Amino acid sequence: MDIRVLGPLEVVGDDGRFCQIGSLKMRALMSALVLAEGRPVAPSALIDRLWGEEPPAEAMASLHSYVSNLRRLLEPGRRAREQSRLLTFGPVGYTLAIEPEQVDSTRFLRLVGQAEQAAEPAEAERLAGEALALWRGEPYQELDDQAYVTAVRARLTEARERARELRVSAVIRQDRHGELLGELEALTCEHPLRERLWALRALALYRSGRQGEALETLRTARRILAEELGIDPGEELRALERDILDQSPALFPHRPPPPPEPQVAERGITGRQEELAALDGLLEAAAAGRTGFSLITGEPGIGKTRLAEELVSRARARGFTVAVGRCAATEGAPAFWPWVTVLERLADTLPPLPADVRANLPGVGSATGSDPEGARFRTYGAAARALTAGQRPVLVVLDDLHWADRSSLRLLSYLAEYVLDGRLAVVGTARDWPPPEGALAEAFEALSRRQAVRLPLSGLSASDLAELTPAGTDVWELRDRTNGNPFFVAELMRYLEAGSPGRGTLPLGVRDVVLGRVNRLPEPSAELLRVAAVAGREFDVTIVAEAAGLDLDAALDRLEPAMAAALVTEGRPGRFRFVHALVQEALTEVVPVLRRARLHAAVAAAIESRTGGSASDRLATAAHHWFQAIPAGHTARAWRAAWRAAEEAKRLRAYDVAVELLERADRLAEDDPELGPAERMDLLFALAEARFGAGDSVGQEAELTRIRRLAKQEGDRRRWIEAATGYGGRILQPWKVYGDYDADLLADLRELAADEGLEPSARARVLACLALQAYYQPGCEPAERDRWSAEAARLARRENDATLLGRVLFARYYAMLDPDSVRQRLEAGEEMARAGLEAGDDELRTIGLTCQGGTLLELCRVPEALDVLAEAERLIGRTHMPYLRIILAWLRLGLLANRGDLEAAESLLADTAAEQHATSMWGVESTTAGATYQVALMRLRRGAADAVPPPGDISHDQLDQFNRDGLAHYLMVSGRLEEARQVLGPWERQPPIPRTFVYLFWLVVRCEVWAGLGDRRACADLYEEASAYGDRMGIAGLSMLMWPVSRSLAQLAGALGDAEAARRHAEHAERVERELAQPHR
């Protein structure tokens, strides 16, 4: 599979065919999963990415529907009950199981990187060109401009610009500068602030003998940089200008200058631009003689020390003398420990100090004797004089003040209080929890009075993380998990790069840091957090309180220290949230398996005791926790909870979710010794219903077969009948290929039908299903099916049950799908529509109208048919019936083709075929082929010679008769009569057309091809056969719609020389075709 995100999303299968992902939301879903690059994405994150901050109420159900459809589009050959290998669902979320090289953005970045490393210019040009060839437009176009994707786009766009520079540079290095002058002019206009492009343009001009233009180009670059950024050109442009003025030989490729020594640039800090601006201001003030202070605070790993290091680098670049003192985390550190380190590092840069000052410096003198207080102040004063005595400004950094000794903190307070002037800047770093006490609190207070620059650090943004992580990293999910803490991010990325799993285990460094913070809490608070961690990243405090055996007030009291420690924060009303997902993961990971299972059980029981809110969320969450509680002996609770959650999912029409829950319940229930056969069958009935709702009629049939066999084995007649008659949905039953019948099912139905003791409703269902299933058995007479289905309808009417009547009438409709039973079918459709209207049943009424409308089309009663189908179209939006929506779409496509609206027909064909592919509905290949052929014929008749090519490499004897007639028809309409004759052979060898739902469709095709070939015997035989259907339409059941039979009769009569009959039939056909050409109402 080839996935292309550098432009509009494209997915190409292994067979080279494009996967048609039509819906914008499905394209956005696919893009979001690709962006995760094989990592799981939580459903909540996907909802955020598809709908933004205000998702609809049924967003979760819609997401599951999109996932289901996407799975079927990506794996069209996957069997109905087979697990998806590409798009899987695990404890964390959905994962698109792809290799990085299957995505064009990964290949693009690899090629750019290889081009940068290429030793030879020709190789660099080739690699950069291959990379640029992959670029088709803005990356991930289907996703909104949220931060998580904006950062990735920026990274890819920057790589593209590097690739463009690499390519033109490589071409110039090969002395082909003349090829690039126009391109370089366009590039410098597009990117006027990229100095490298100006340099390449000027060099290309100079090598082309245009020295004056080269110099003017450099002057233009200088002016733009000054106007836009207020800066002078960099060294590359300045050196190039000098070389051009000097006409340096090094500018020509045959005498290249020696390569410069490689320099490794120090990696700059990521993010923190506002904080750095504030610290730059502090340095400027200190340089001007105004002493300043700053305090950088935040949680462990947030980047306090890294920010201080960047400040140190900037200060040194400005000519500051810098000294860093680190406070010791161990007890018993000497007094003034960080200050002693600072002053020792400053000693070589300070001028000689008076003896009394040197004697009182920290670490030299002592505060003993008769005047300890005076000695202490003399020490503070000596330190202040030493720090402000230098010729250059001084920066002092005190790292980890939360560990500082009391003496060091008091010295800091003194400096903040009394040192007002001097070329000195003092910056401290400290954790923001626990709250400062004693000397630390006094120091913070002194700094506040001095109006120190306070810089509380929070996590890096998603765009910042994109700079720190490899391309394709799901930075949004990474930030959610780490809250942007740089230490956690770096540890996780290192862990993943080493091949460790993404979730479920944590790097030891991360876990130790997290648990260290938790362990500093009071034990009752820490214990409550362990329970909360089992409940989830976000948790309802009432649920956690009940699971922990606490009242609400006690639980809230225990949460307060965790909130003060910035481990937990308030979420939605009544809910709390772990600040980092890693905190929740670390706490969960260290709880022993059996205890964790018991906690899950306690949480599940607490959830089930609640009412209100979203029932689907509540039941699904409870089911999740019961699944996790299985190691503690809760298997039965788990599968029953999954069943309850699945029933709610079905109510919301989230059938794909229901299938996943019930499949898991089915597997677990097999091992439950207390599960009886009756309950086992009921569970399978629920699974069968969910499968049908999800578009998997094959899977439904498999479950019902399991039930039938188990019911017969147990002697459970009621469930045997229900399983034997349960195919399809509440009313609609899917069709299948003619001749593919289930002999075992037919035997069961015949056996049940012979039981005169059946209650009327059961007998009605049995007879209706017998008629329908017998339709697919060759040799079963229409009269027998008519008798069974008519009796079933009579019994159902007496029961006053709209659903029962709907099932029976629909079965009767399909059981009578032969050309001579049109009256019965029309009556069945009309009665279904009336019954649905009287019962207020939109589903039954829509099915009835569809059957009625299709039959009216067959009878060439076009205006009536259009009115009826228009009403069905209006009602379809109120129901969830993918099968019926597809049937209506195929009928509408035939109408569009007959109107000549080929563009709309082709668009509808692609959409409908994709939707039918997403179900296990029979006939997608044959129906799509028929519809494609229908549209192609219209194109051919309008002069498109290449409307549809015949299968060139298939020998005629490999085709079945239906396709043989279709191919011959194509050749005949194309004027290739001799080839058509060779395909068909003599008329005497043509088999009769089966009298099934395709009869009329096949008949008009056969009539037209033999009329075109001019075979009088064939025309005479076909005229006699088709005359019985002269007022009918060439249609295949409720799908493919061709043209009136009368048109074919007119062609046959003309071939036989009967001008009057030809005129009469043509008049009828023209009237019907004019009516078909009217807009679909």
From 223, 139, 204, select the one nearest 165 (Cα to Cα).
204
Q: What is the mean pLDDT of residues 141-150?
A: 77
Q: How far apart are CA 964 and CA 984, in angstroms?
A: 7
Buried b (16+ CB within 10 A) or exposed e, 207-245: beeeeeebbebbeebbebbeeeeeeebeeebeebbebbe
DSSP per-residue codes, 574-633: TEEEES-HHHHHHHHHHS-HHHHHHHHHHHHHHHHT--SS-HHHHHHHHHHHHHHTGGGT
Take residue 124 and report the two structure tokens written for it: 């660099």
Per-residue pLDDT band for 241 (boundaries 50, 70, 90) equals confident
Of the listed ranges 399-413, 692-706, 828-842, the least confidently predicted one is 692-706
Take residue 57 and report the two structure tokens written for it: 């109420």
Q: How far apart are CA 624 and CA 78, in angstroms?
A: 27
Per-residue pLDDT band for 18 (boundaries 50, 70, 90) equals confident
Predicted local confidence at residue 915, as pLDDT: 72
> Do 418 and 344 touch, CB atoms closer than 8 A?
no
Take residue 959 and report the two structure tokens written for it: 């085709």
DSSP per-residue codes, 731-751: S------TT---HHHHHHHHH
Give bridge partners of residue 397 from the DSSP assignment.
Answer: 324, 427
**Residue 61, pLDDT above cutoff 70:** no
Q: What is the mean pLDDT of residues 312-338?
A: 80
What percentage of the chain reaches a pLDDT higher than 90? 35
Predicted local confidence at residue 831, as pLDDT: 96
From 1042, 1044, 1066, select the one nearest 1053 (Cα to Cα).
1066
Q: What is the mean pLDDT of residues 84-95?
A: 77
**Residue 82, pLDDT above cutoff 70:** no
In degrees to the nearest 10, what's the CA dihedral of 532, 536, 540, 546? -50
Predicted local confidence at residue 214, as pLDDT: 84
Q: How far apart are CA 6 and CA 164, in angstroms?
A: 15
CATH 3.40.50 fits 462-617, yes or no: no
H or E segment at 102? Answer: none
Supply the mean pLDDT for the chain: 83
Predicted local confidence at residue 942, as pLDDT: 65
Q: How far apart are CA 412 and CA 430, in angstroms?
A: 13
Q: What is the mean pLDDT of residues 521-537?
A: 92
CATH 3.90.79.10 fits 1-174, yes or no: no
Give bridge partners of residue 210 from the DSSP assignment.
Answer: none
- CATH classification number, 273-456, choose in 3.40.50.300, 3.90.75.20, 3.90.1300.10, 3.50.50.60: 3.40.50.300
Task: List all residues 6 or more positions away from 112 whose beta carbon is below 8 Å from its beta carbon.
Answer: 127, 128, 131, 159, 160, 162, 163, 166
> Do 816 and 738 touch, CB atoms closer than 8 A?
no
Distances 537 to 258, 510, 616, 862 between C-alpha atoms, Å: 58, 17, 19, 60
Q: Which position has the higher pLDDT, 281 or 468?
A: 281
Helices (H), 942-1015: 961-973, 977-984, 999-1013
Predicted local confidence at residue 43, as pLDDT: 80
Predicted local confidence at residue 880, as pLDDT: 63
Break the chain down into helix, strand, coil percent, rounded to 5: 65, 5, 30
DSSP 957: G
DSSP per-residue codes, 356-392: HHHHTSTTTS-S-SS-HHHHHHHHHHHHHHHHT-SSS
> Do 459 and 488 touch, CB atoms closer than 8 A?
no
Per-residue pLDDT band for 955 (boundaries 50, 70, 90) equals very low
DSSP 840: T
Predicted local confidence at residue 257, as pLDDT: 39
**Residue 501, pLDDT above cutoff 70:** no
Per-residue pLDDT band for 903 (boundaries 50, 70, 90) equals confident
pLDDT tens for residues 1028-1059?
999 999 998 888 888 999 999 999 999 999 99
Predicted local confidence at residue 532, as pLDDT: 94
CA 298 to chain CA centroid, nearest Å? 34
**Residue 583, pLDDT above cutoff 90:** no
Distances 508 to 4, 124, 494, 562 between C-alpha atoms, Å: 37, 42, 12, 22
Q: Which of 153-162, 237-246, 640-649 has the highest mean pLDDT?
A: 640-649
pLDDT tens for residues 1065-1076?
999 999 999 998
> Do 482 and 582 touch, CB atoms closer than 8 A?
yes
Checking 445-451 for CB contacts under 8 A at 24+ apart, the result is 445/413, 446/412, 446/413, 446/416, 446/417, 447/293, 447/295, 447/412, 447/416, 449/416, 449/417, 450/293, 450/416, 450/417
Per-residue pLDDT band for 45 (boundaries 50, 70, 90) equals confident
Buried b (16+ CB within 10 A) or exposed e, 395-412: bbbbbbbbbbbebbbbbb
Q: How far apart are CA 339 and CA 354, in angstroms?
A: 19
pLDDT tens for residues 447-490?
999 999 999 998 888 888 887 777 777 777 777 777 788 877 77
Q: How far apart are CA 14 and CA 779, in angstroms?
A: 42
Take residue 838 and report the two structure tokens written for it: 């009287």
Per-residue pLDDT band for 53 (boundaries 50, 70, 90) equals confident
> Do 723 and 712 touch, CB atoms closer than 8 A?
no
Q: Which position has the higher pLDDT, 348 or 445?
A: 445
Region of residue 1057 (phi > 0: left; psi between -120 and 50: alpha; otherwise: beta) = left
**Residue 262, pLDDT above cutoff 60:** no
pLDDT tens for residues 680-713?
999 999 999 988 887 777 788 889 999 999 999 9
Predicted local confidence at residue 951, as pLDDT: 42
Region of residue 959 (phi > 0: left; psi between -120 and 50: alpha; otherwise: beta) = beta
- What pairing do the DSSP bridges indicate for beta strands 1033-1035 and 1041-1044? antiparallel
pLDDT tens for residues 876-895?
867 666 677 888 888 888 88
pLDDT tens for residues 595-634?
889 999 999 999 998 877 678 778 888 998 998 898 888 9
Distances 1066 to 540, 1046, 1050, 1061, 1063 between C-alpha atoms, Å: 75, 7, 5, 8, 5
Q: Which position has the higher pLDDT, 790 or 225?
A: 790
> Do 93 and 41 touch, CB atoms closer than 8 A?
yes
Per CATH, 273-456 and 462-617 having the same topology is answered no
Q: Is 284 exposed, middle or buried (0-12, 13-18, 19+ CB in 10 A)?
A: middle
Predicted local confidence at residue 930, as pLDDT: 72
> Do 234 and 195 touch, CB atoms closer than 8 A?
yes
> Do 683 and 669 touch, CB atoms closer than 8 A?
yes
From 283, 259, 529, 273, select the one nearest 393 (Cα to Cα).
283
Give the 3-state secondary structure of residue 1005: helix
Give bridge partners of residue 428 from the DSSP assignment.
Answer: 295, 398
Q: How far apart are CA 312 and CA 324, in angstroms?
A: 9
> Do 461 and 479 touch, CB atoms closer than 8 A?
yes
Instruction: Name the phi and psi angles at 1007, rounded to 5.
Output: -60, -45
The ranges assigned to domains in the chain are 1-174, 196-252, 273-456, 462-617, 883-1076
Q: Is 96 exposed, middle or buried (0-12, 13-18, 19+ CB in 10 A)?
A: buried
Q: Which of 158-167, 341-350, 510-519, 815-824 has the highest mean pLDDT?
A: 815-824
DSSP 869: H
- What pairing do the DSSP bridges indicate for beta strands 321-326 and 292-298? unpaired
